[in-house]
């Protein structure tokens, strides 16, 4: 009798565990992308260099874990842990963070999704569909490195879609805890007693999107504090971006465009600029896609402007594996020194040309 009871209990426990597992899932995913790039005029002497890029190829490399648990009544618990990888050296990206791309947990339902942790913010989301080059090595992220790195530490976020209207917002109590350097690590941990503005950040998004076309606008303001990068060394310093982005389909192709209006109030003074971009993506064959983009940064009351031209051709061996090649040109005016390749260098006022090629695999 006792043995029968034990067997029944074990069976019920096993069934309960199976039911619990059936209601939740964890997905491991990733993307590996690297290649070679050759760029000219990397210094004042006009030298060229051939190298393996670190920050990105056609997309940044990463490995991630995504989980969902069904809580019943249409409510789900969700989490994302995503680590950025530098394939040239095997090191972590995003300021040497373990899960620098995303590390968040949240709840999702008919009301939308609420998340807490390090997460992509609304500036990142706003440009995803309009920017046909995305985080490519030659792209608008070279002009404004924040755009492909628009993430916030210590943040609570919300994103919802209601009859194709998209609304979202994030609020960060300390936008960037890493001081390792680079656009994804600016040393502004915040959460300072007695200073509610120190390293705070607010982003917001509103738009209308359907497969055929979409239009959205975003707002992003981040504050500084002692020791923060980019001259934002006081909580009275700020960096504000307002974006308007749109896309529409033309047959099998897509045209995307946008503008980023930026106002920076740093210890060095006030800087205002506009970044315009226009791009097209078209599948020239079922297995080959051509992407091209033109972009211009206009700095107010300054001649330090820059103009970008870039094109990329991608051939898909499968849904997961592709090879690509690209060309680009960055024209710097006045004292502008924006490199064509993300994370690269260029001589002041010099025009930089480049070619790139690589291999991408996702899993």
Sole residue written with tokens 């609420």: 114
The pLDDT score that the predictor gives to residue 182 is 82
Do the Cβ atoms of 128 and 134 come closer than 8 Å? Answer: yes
Question: In 10 A of CB 305, how many CB atoms?
Answer: 16
Q: What angle do CA 6, 9, 13 make, to 5 degrees?
A: 140
Instruction: Write down the domain spans for the chain.
Output: 59-319
The pLDDT score that the predictor gives to residue 183 is 87
Terminal-residue alpha carbon distance, the chain: 51
Rg of the Cα atoms in the chain: 23
Do the Cβ atoms of 255 and 247 come closer than 8 Å? Answer: yes
Do the Cβ atoms of 140 and 341 come closer than 8 Å? Answer: no
Coil, helix or strand at residue 34: strand
The torsion defined by the Cα of 298, 299, 301 and 305, in degrees rounded to 10, comes to -70
Quote the tokens at residue 140. 């608008």
Per-residue pLDDT of the chain (363 residues; tens, 9 = 90+): 344 434 443 433 443 444 444 489 999 999 999 999 999 999 999 999 999 999 999 999 999 999 999 999 999 999 999 999 999 999 999 999 999 999 999 999 999 999 999 999 999 999 999 999 999 999 999 999 999 999 999 999 999 999 999 999 999 999 999 999 888 899 999 999 999 999 999 999 999 999 999 999 999 999 999 999 999 999 999 999 999 999 999 999 999 999 999 999 999 999 999 999 999 999 999 999 999 999 999 999 999 999 999 999 999 999 999 999 999 999 999 999 999 999 999 999 999 999 999 999 999
Distance CA 246, CA 216 (A): 6
Strand intervals (E) in 195-287: 201-209, 213-223, 238-250, 253-266, 269-285
Do the Cβ atoms of 359 and 34 come closer than 8 Å? Answer: yes
- The tens digit of pLDDT for each residue in 144-170 reads 999 999 999 999 999 999 999 999 999
The pLDDT score that the predictor gives to residue 326 is 98
Distance CA 279, CA 294 (A): 6
Do the Cβ atoms of 183 and 172 come closer than 8 Å? Answer: no
Answer whether CATH 3.40.50.300 is correct for domain 59-319: no
Beta carbons within 8 Å of 250's beta carbon, 6+ residues apart: none
Paired residues of 186 in beta bridges: none
> Which phi and psi (to 5°) does residue 251 adopt?
65, -125
Distance CA 253, CA 213 (A): 12
Nearest alpha carbon to residue 313 among 144, 148, 140, 132 = 132
Quote the tokens at residue 112. 């939308």
The pLDDT score that the predictor gives to residue 181 is 85
The pLDDT score that the predictor gives to residue 11 is 37
The pLDDT score that the predictor gives to residue 38 is 98
Sole residue written with tokens 């995803």: 128
pTM summary value: 0.91
DSSP H/E element including 15: helix 2-22
Do the Cβ atoms of 204 and 237 come closer than 8 Å? Answer: no
The pLDDT score that the predictor gives to residue 2 is 43
Do the Cβ atoms of 208 and 164 come closer than 8 Å? Answer: yes
Coil, helix or strand at residue 148: helix
């Amino acid at each position: 009798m006792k043995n029968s009871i034990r067997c029944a209990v074990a069976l019920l426990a096993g069934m309960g565990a199976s039911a619990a597992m059936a209601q939740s899932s964890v997905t491991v995913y990733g993307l590996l992308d690297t290649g070679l790039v050759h760029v000219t005029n990397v210094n004042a002497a006009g030298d060229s260099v051939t190298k393996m890029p670190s920050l990105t190829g056609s997309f940044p490399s990463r490995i991630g874990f995504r989980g969902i648990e069904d809580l019943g009544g249409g409510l789900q618990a969700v989490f994302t842990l995503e680590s950025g990888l530098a394939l040239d050296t095997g090191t972590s990206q995003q300021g040497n963070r373990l899960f620098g791309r995303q590390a968040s947990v949240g709840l999702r339902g008919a009301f939308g999704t609420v998340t807490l942790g390090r997460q992509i913010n609304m500036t990142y989301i706003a440009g995803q569909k309009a920017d046909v080059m995305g985080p490519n090595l030659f792209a608008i992220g070279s002009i404004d490195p924040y755009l492909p790195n628009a993430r916030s530490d210590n943040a609570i976020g919300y994103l919802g879609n209601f009859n194709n209207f998209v609304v979202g917002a994030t609020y960060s109590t300390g936008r960037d805890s890493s001081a390792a350097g680079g656009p994804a690590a600016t040393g502004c941990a915040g959460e300072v007693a007695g200073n509610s503005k120190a390293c705070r950040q607010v982003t917001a998004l509103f738009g209308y999107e359907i497969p055929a076309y979409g239009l959205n606008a975003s707002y992003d303001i981040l504050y500084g504090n002692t020791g923060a990068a980019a001259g934002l060394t006081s909580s009275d310093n700020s960096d504000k971006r307002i974006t308007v982005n749109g896309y529409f389909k033309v047959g099998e192709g897509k045209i995307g465009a946008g503008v980023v209006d930026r106002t920076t109030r740093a210890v060095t003074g006030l800087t205002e600029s506009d970044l315009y971009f226009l791009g097209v993506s078209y599948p020239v064959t079922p297995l080959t896609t051509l992407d091209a983009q033109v972009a211009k940064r206009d700095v107010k009351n300054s001649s330090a402007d820059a103009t970008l031209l870039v094109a990329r051709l991608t051939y898909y061996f499968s849904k997961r594996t592709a090879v690509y090649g690209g060309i680009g040109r960055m024209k710097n005016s006045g004292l502008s020194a924006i490199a064509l390749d993300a994370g690269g260098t260029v001589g002041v006022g010099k025009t930089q040309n480049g070619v790139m090629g690589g291999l991408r695999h996702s899993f």
